[in-house]
Amino acid sequence: MSPILSVRGLTVCYPNADQPAVDGVGFDLEPGATIAVVGESGSGKSTVALALSRLLNPAVSIRADALTFEGRDLLGLRREALRRLRARRIAMIFQSPFGSWNPSRTIGAQLVDGLRAAGLWPDRRERLLELLKRVGIDDPERRLGDYPHRFSGGMLQRAMIAGALVTEPSLLVADEPTSALDATVQAEILEILDELRKEQNLALMLISHDLGVVARVAQHTLVLYRGQVVESGPTAALYRHAGHPYTQGLLAAVPRLEGPRKTPLPAMPQGTATRGGCVFASRCPRAEDLCRTSAPSPRHLNGTDVACHFAEDVRREPIWRW
Amino acid sequence: MTDNRERTMRLRAGSRLLRLLASLMWILLVVWVAVSVTFVLSRIVPADPARLAAGLDAGPEQVAEVRAEMGLDQPLAAQYGRYLGDLITGDLGRSLQTRQPVIDDLLTALPASLELILASYLIYAVIGILAGIAWAYWPRGPHTLLLRFGAVIGVAVPVFWVGLVLQVVFAGKLQWFPVAGNFDFEGTGVPKVTGMGLVDTALTGQLPLIGEALRTLALPVVTLVVTHLAVTMTLMRSSLEEQLKRPYVRTARARGVKERRIVFVDALRNSLNPVVTMLGLQLGWSLGGVVIVEVIFSWPGFGLYAYQAFSAFDYNAIMAITLLSTVVFVTVNALVGMIYPMLDPRLKEAR
């Protein structure tokens, strides 16, 4: 199957920044598949998401060797074509449920705006109500007349999902869709997302800092550190034999119910990364001179692609246990 | 269910009436305080109204007579009581200068000021809002240089200077506009309906007369517009720009909503709050704001009347002017307060 989204060498630079926020990221996403992008705050995950639908400020420079979606070059799209693409083919969900809704307009008015932009109003009215019910909003017809402050965060996020999927897009980019919600609501939302993904043969790109969330739904995972992919591969393989110290650190930092609390990663150092070396070198306990002078390129190893000079050693003797 | 709903509706209607009453009481309270403070101040000031009223060459007996006539020989409390009593019956006393009831003076002066205020206010509110929107919508380009320049000039240059320069250049040198005064009804046969030149000439439908009224209005109105426009414009711009950075705007963009719709339907309404506040304050201040302009252009309105009253210590007129300014300010503020819930649905429910 040919990928629906193909990214090669995606590099994003904010104006006046001394290093790119996203540096040479590449991946493929197949129709109906789920890919997770993980990393700490500031790793560039959200920037990747926003770059895909070109929602970054025009002053931000986006470059890529290839950025194709359904066979079209995303970077070459003109304004109107881009707008239509956002309206029909690529949907997005954002982290902050309250901030993502206009406080002075009803939920219904805002969802209808989206349908109108897609040219699907009023044809999809029934479908919208149906979807709202599906995601767990009772009496949707009445609730559509409510203002966002009458909804809880979880409810807003559910309505957001319904609004994103009613146009039957082929790609849904979910940027930390559950981070602002309680654990119980989180699980429910993820389940709904996964169900709808299967039903609509939707490709899902899930951005998260929470590996627990990722493990539940994503077949493929990309680990981002300082804008670079340090490790990527099938989620199961990544969990079993993480070959990058950073991946191991992230896995070790996931809170668990049983057992003692695991050591967190050492804090992200200030300032710029050592130029020419491995991006993780300044934080890596295993780092040697080689790491500081030469950047490792990704190598295929036991199911994942790892960008570490000592991936074999690290895998044999994990730096952090998880 | 329906029962509950009805009860809520009834409660809401009831509380709306209560709120209205409360704001009315509030207005009365503020007016009363302002009037009392002015009263006390006017009696503390060393100038002697009786002396002024009697004239410079009046003897002591005559002054005493005038004083008794004006009730100024009575204790302060009694004077205060009498003043409040008169006020309630609508009697503002007589002006020392014009020898006419102050209320009549005010009624003659007000239409001229109202004309000036309404004309300039409408212009700078509308242009200010539109220019601010345009600035936020197209934040780059040569027009921003012009807008920025206009904003700085408008804020930095004082009213009297703008007025004088316009007067010297356009009335003195070029003689395009009259130097001073408002529309002169005499000899034109225009019936005085509202007392506002532009409105009354418009009612006759005769273009040359309307043109004449416009010519007299032009310079003072431009002066007021130039000095008030910048604030509205910059406030509108910064407020809208701030809204356009909000995450909900990004959501709308991600949904493919057209940019124009995002600006005018989503962001604009949320950005109007500070602009409404500012415009409300400006309207509230407008009676005081026209003083300088009316003096420069000898515009026979409230401002000129106030200026003359203060210069001559015409204390009945001063009291009336204070009263009127306060009433206008407080009332406009109360009215503006009713606009906020229309802009923000959360306020509608919270109250």
Structure ipTM: 0.90
B266 vs A102: CB contact, 8 Å cut-off? yes
Task: Residue window 239-258, chain B: list those with CB within 8 Å of chain A.
Answer: 246-248, 250-258
Long-range contacts of B273-277 (CB under 8 A, 24+ apart): B273/B239, B273/B340, B273/B343, B273/B344, B274/B235, B274/B239, B275/B129, B275/B132, B275/B232, B275/B235, B275/B236, B275/B239, B276/B336, B276/B339, B276/B340, B276/B343, B277/B336
In this complex, is the C-beta atom of B266 within 8 Å of any C-beta atom belonging to chain A? yes
What's the confidence (pLDDT) of residue B105?
93
Q: What is the pLDDT of residue B2?
A: 54
- Whether chain A has a CB inside 8 Å of the CB on B51: the answer is no
Average of per-residue pLDDT across B291-301: 94
Average pLDDT, chain B: 88
Residue-wise pLDDT tens for chain A (322 aa)?
Answer: 689 999 999 999 999 888 899 999 999 999 999 999 998 888 899 999 999 999 998 889 999 999 999 999 999 999 999 999 999 999 999 988 999 999 999 999 999 999 999 999 999 999 999 999 999 999 999 999 999 999 999 999 999 999 999 999 999 999 988 888 888 888 888 888 888 899 889 999 999 888 877 888 899 999 999 999 999 999 999 988 888 999 988 888 877 766 665 566 666 555 555 578 898 888 888 888 899 889 998 999 888 999 999 988 888 888 878 7
Q: Helix crossing, B302-311 with B268-296: angle to 10°? A: 50
Collect all residues of chain A within an 8 Å Cβ-Cβ radius of residue B266.
Answer: 102, 105
Domain ranges of chain A: 103-168, 242-316
Read off the tokens for B342: 């229309």
Write the residue in B247, B256, B269 that is nearest to A86 by C-beta.
B256
- Helix, strand, or coil here: B94? strand
Question: Quick one: closest CA in A to B340, which residue?
Answer: A104
Contact assignment for A117 to B256 by CB distance below 8 Å? yes
Smallest Cβ distance to B258: which of A53, A117, A164?
A117
Return the residue of A nearest to B265 by Cα: A105
Question: Which pLDDT belongs to residue A272?
Answer: 58
pLDDT tens digits along A94-124? 988 999 999 999 999 999 999 999 999 999 9
CB-based contact A104 B343, cutoff 8 Å:
yes
Residue A116: predicted pLDDT: 95
Q: Strands A66-69 and A61-63, how do they pair?
A: unpaired
Contact A273, A281 (CB under 8 A): yes
Per CATH, the number for B102-350 is 1.10.3720.10
Q: Do B256 and A87 touch (CB under 8 A)?
A: yes
C-alpha to C-alpha distance for B262 and B249, rounded to whole angstroms: 7
CA distance A288 to chain B (A): 43
The answer to whether residue B161 neighbours chain A at the CB level (below 8 Å) is: no
Task: Show residues of chain B in contact with A117, CB under 8 Å.
Answer: 255-258
End-to-end CA distance of chain B: 22
Report yes or no: B140 at the A interface, CB cutoff 8 Å: no
How far does CA A178 lie from the centroid of its chain?
11
pLDDT band at B22 (very low <50, low <70, confident <90, very high): confident
Specify the pLDDT at position A86.
95
Residues of A in contact with B251 (CB under 8 A): 92, 94, 100-101, 110, 160
Percent of chain B, pLDDT > 70? Answer: 96
Q: Look at residue B249 in the predicted model and tell me its pLDDT.
A: 96
Closest by Cβ to B345, choosing from A100, A147, A164? A147
Min distance A145 CA to chain B CA atoms (Å): 12
Tell me the nearest-neighbour CA distance from B344 into chain A, angstroms: 5
Smallest CA–CA separation between A157 and chain B, in Å? 12
Q: Report domain extents, chain B.
A: 2-88, 102-350
Which residues, in sequence order, are bridge partners of residue A301?
A304
- Closest of B295, B333, B322 to residue B113, by C-alpha: B295
- The 3-state secondary structure of chain A reads CCCCEEEEEEEEECCCCCCCCEEEEEEEECCCCEEEEECCCCCCHHHHHHHHCCCCCCCCEEECCEEEECCEEHHHCCHHHHHHHHHHCEEEECCCCCCCCCCCCCHHHHHHHHHHHCCCCCCCHHHHHHHHHHCCCCCHHHHCCCCHHHCCHHHHHHHHHHHHHCCCCCEEEEECCCCCCCHHHHHHHHHHHHHHHHHHCCEEEEEECCHHHHHHHCCEEEEEECCEEEEEEEHHHHHHCCCCHHHHHHHHHCCCCCCCCCCCCCCCCCCCCCCCCCCCHHHCCCCCHHHHHCCCCCEEECCEEECCCCHHHHHHCCCCCC
> pLDDT, tens digit, for every residue of B237-267?
999 999 999 999 999 999 999 999 999 999 9
Cβ burial, residue A114 (10 Å; 0-12/13-18/19+): buried
Min Cα separation A184/chain B (Å): 25
- CA-wise closest residue to A124 among A151, A92, A161, A162: A162
Choose the mutation target among A47, A57, A104, A120 for the interface with B, i.e. most B CBs under 10 Å.
A104
Contact check, Cβ <8 Å, A103/B344:
yes
Instruction: Report the pLDDT value the prediction gives residue B35, as an integer from 0 to 100.
Output: 85
Nearest-by-Cβ selection for B248 from A91, A102, A118: A102
Chain A residue numbers with beta carbons less than 8 Å from the beta carbon of B257 are 87, 113-114, 116-117
Q: What is the pLDDT of residues B78-101, one digit of tens each?
A: 889 988 898 888 888 888 888 899
Phi, psi of A305 (to 5 degrees): -100, 120
Residue A128 and residue A144: Cα distance in Å, rounded?
10
> Quick check: B252 and A110 CB within 8 A?
yes
Do the chains contact at B265 and A113, CB–CB below 8 Å? Answer: yes
- How far apart CA A140 and CA A158 sit, in angstroms, is 11
Chain A / chain B CB contacts < 8 angstroms:
75
Strand partners, B218: none
Q: Nearest-CA neighbor of B30 among B331, B312, B275, B339? A: B331
Among chain A, residues having any CB pair with chain B shorter than 8 Å are 53, 55, 83-88, 91-92, 94, 96, 99-105, 110, 113-114, 116-118, 147, 149, 160, 163-164
Q: How many CB atoms lie within 10 A of CB B40?
A: 12
Close Cβ partners of B135 (under 8 Å, ≥ 6 residues apart): B143, B144, B147, B233, B236, B237
Distance CA A33, CA B47 (A): 89
A213 vs chain B: nearest CA distance in angstroms? 23
What residue of B is the nearest CA neighbor of A118? Answer: B256
Listed ranges B170-184, B222-236, B305-319, B327-341; the one with the highest mean pLDDT: B222-236
Report pLDDT digits (tens) over A245-282.
999 888 888 777 666 655 666 665 555 555 788 988 88
